[in-house]
Amino acid sequence: MTDRIQDATVRWRAEQHMYAAFGKLLEDRIRQTLANAGIWSEVSSRHKGRDNLIKKLMRKPDHGYESIGDKAGVRVTVRHRDALSKVLEMLPRLFDCRDLEDVSHRLGTSGVGYRGWHVAVFLRETDPLWLDYRGIEAELQVRTQAQHLWAEMAHDAIYKNEADLPQDLVRRMHLLAGLIEVADDEFLR
């Protein structure tokens, strides 16, 4: 194990409880805000596991402990695509938000695959708990139930293993993503 990874492992052991608590705080605030707004959602949080942290550092040798932004993560799943914009409009009222990205743009116009929105969130300096969580960020993922279905089914099979899989299997998984995208569109009609 390299010094970079060893140092990250030691820091993570000392800090992971703080990231877990931060994720839970964000989860609770988002869940309550969406419920008050009458927006159906499932909200969950997690902190990155030690093994996943090491794997990410090994896959990305130009990254260090500080540059990994998803040590805490929160996922918001809504029923339909029209609720995505409502959630995304609500977030800046709750948190300091940076790097909002529609990850479907990575696919281009002819690609199918993972869809959803990602944003880095921090507590504002005016937040009563800011001092407890100063400098800590979480990656927030916002997607529909249909997008979530594909992401959950395909993540372990494709995301980090695509180069090792038979091409016909990868193609079939991407075709399923296209069908799920069509379903998402049809639910709004």
> Residue 92: CA atoms inside 13 Å, Cβ hemisphere, count?
7
Question: In the numeric block, which tokens belong to residue 52?
Answer: 């996943």
pLDDT over 90 at 123, yes or no: yes
pLDDT value for 17: 96
CA-CA distance, 144 to 146, in Å (whole number)? 5
What's the mean pLDDT in 87-97? Answer: 97
CA-CA distance, 180 to 148, in Å (whole number)? 10
pLDDT per position as a tens digit, 36-66:
999 999 999 999 999 988 888 888 888 888 9
Q: How confident is the model at residue 171 (pLDDT cuts 50, 70, 90)?
A: confident
pTM: 0.85
pLDDT value for 69: 87
CA-CA distance, 73 to 6, in Å (whole number)? 23
